[in-house]
Amino acid sequence: MAHRWGMAIDLDRCMGCEACVAACHAENNLPVSDPAQAAKGRAVHWIRVDRYYEGEFPEIRVKYMPVLCQQCDEAPCEPVCPVYATYHNPEGLNVQVYNRCVGTRYCGNNCPYSVRFFNWFEPKWTAPLELQHNPDVAIRPGGVMEKCTFCVQRIERVKLDAKAENRPVADGEVQPACVQSCPAEAMVFGDLNDPESKVSRLASSGRATRLLEELGAKPKVFYLQRGK
C-alpha cells in the first residue's frame, strides 16, 4: 500500500525554541534574508513558530504553534495553478515543481495557512554559507514559489535504502529535519496509512485537532493539545 505521510505536533511540548526553523534552513537550502528584506516580510521560513497570547500581563501565557505546509488532501493551492506546478503526488504530498512554476503566486493567495513563499530575487548566501548547501535539495531560482516538502529528499532516501535491503520502511525511520531537531520531541512524522504507526495513533487520539479544519482542506498535520 502507498504511503500517506503525516505529522503530529504536540503543542503542550513545544516551547518555541525554533530549532525546527534553523534545521529546516540548513536542510533545505533556504536563503538567509538580509535584515532589510526580512523587515519587509520577505524572509523565507518553510516552518515558522506562531505565538498566541492568553490573558493580560502579568498573568500572561504564551502558546507556540509551529506552522508548516499542512500537506492538505484537498489542497486549495493545487487547482488554481495554471501550469500544474503544484500538484498532489501519489503519497499525498503537496509537491511544488520549481521548473514548471511561472510565478503567478495564485497558490500563495489561496493557501489559508500562508505557508507558501515566493523568491522575490535570485537567492543569495553570504560566504561561506553557500558551502553548506545540501546536495540533495534543489536551489530555487528567483521568481518561483516554494514551500515545505516534508523533506521529500529524506523520504526518498529511506525508501531507497529499504528497497535495497528488501524490507518495508519502518515507523519513525523517516525524520524530516524539523522532527529530528526538536529537543522536546514535540513532532512525530510517519505513515498515516499504517494504523499502528505512532503518528496514526496520535492523530486518532482525543487530543488531535487540525488547523482551520472547518475549511475542509483536510490537512495532514495534526496538532495535539489538552481539551479545554
Partner 1 sequence: MATAVQIRQDKVREDLWRPLLQTRGRYVVALVLAGLAGAWGLAAWGYQIYEGLGVTGKRRPVMWAFYITSFVFWIGISHAGTLISAILRLTHSRWRKPVTRAAEAITVFALMIGGMFPIIHLGRPWVFYWLLPYPNNRLLWPNFRSPLLWDVTAIFTYLTGSVIYLYLPLIPDVAHLAEHTTGWRHALYRALSLHWTSSDREWHALERAMKLMAGIILAVAVSVHTVVAWDFAMSVAPMWHSTIFGPYFVTGAIFSGIAALLVVLAIVRKTMHLEAYLQPVHFDNLAKLLVLMSLLWFYFTTAEYLTTWYGNEPWEMAVLGARVRGGYAPLFWTMVVCNFVIPFVLLGIQRLRTIRTATISAAAVLVGMWLERFLIVVPTLAHPRLPAAWGTYAPTWVEISICGATFAAMALLYLVFSKLFPIIAVWEYEEHVSNGRI
Q: How far is C-alpha 158 from the chain's CA centre?
A: 18
Residues 63-82 interacting with partner 1 (rule: CB under 8 A): 67, 76, 79-82
DSSP states along 34-69: PHHHHHTT----SSEEEEEEES-TTS-EEEEEEE--
Q: How far is C-alpha 144 from the chain's CA centre?
A: 18
- Residue 117 CB, shortest distance to partner 1, in Å, is 6
By the rule CB under 8 A, 34 interacts with partner 1: no
By the rule CB under 8 A, 225 interacts with partner 1: no
By the rule CB under 8 A, 112 interacts with partner 1: yes
Q: What is the DSSP secondary structure assignment for residue 78, as one 8-state letter? A: T
Residues 171-190 interacting with partner 1 (rule: CB under 8 A): none
- Residue 219 CB, shortest distance to partner 1, in Å, is 13
Please select the residue that binds partner 1; options are 32, 88, 103, 225, rule is CB under 8 A.
103
Please select the residue that binds partner 1; options are 22, 63, 95, 108, rule is CB under 8 A.
108
How far is the C-alpha of 152 from the C-alpha of 135, rounded, in Å? Answer: 13
How far is the C-alpha of 158 from the C-alpha of 153, rounded, in Å? Answer: 9
- Residue 92 CB, shortest distance to partner 1, in Å, is 19
- Characterise 111 by phi-psi region: left (phi > 0), alpha (psi -120 to 50), beta (else): beta
Residue 80 or 162: the one with the smaller Cβ distance to partner 1 is 80
Match 483536510 to its residue by C-alpha cell: 218
- Residue 164 CB, shortest distance to partner 1, in Å, is 31
- Residue 122 CB, shortest distance to partner 1, in Å, is 6
By the rule CB under 8 A, 46 interacts with partner 1: no
- Residue 98 CB, shortest distance to partner 1, in Å, is 10
Q: What's the maximum distance between 2 C-alpha atoms anywhere in the chain?
A: 58
By the rule CB under 8 A, 41 interacts with partner 1: yes
Provide CB contacts within 8 A for 226, sequence distance 6+.
12, 207
By the rule CB under 8 A, 83 interacts with partner 1: yes
By the rule CB under 8 A, 119 interacts with partner 1: yes
Provide CB contacts within 8 A for 21, sequence distance 6+.
45, 47, 48, 49, 178
How far is the C-alpha of 50 from the C-alpha of 69, rounded, in Å? Answer: 13
Kindly list the residues in this chain that would bind partner 1 in the complex (CB under 8 A): 37, 40-42, 48, 50-51, 67, 76, 79-84, 100-106, 108-110, 112-114, 117-122, 141-145, 211-212, 215
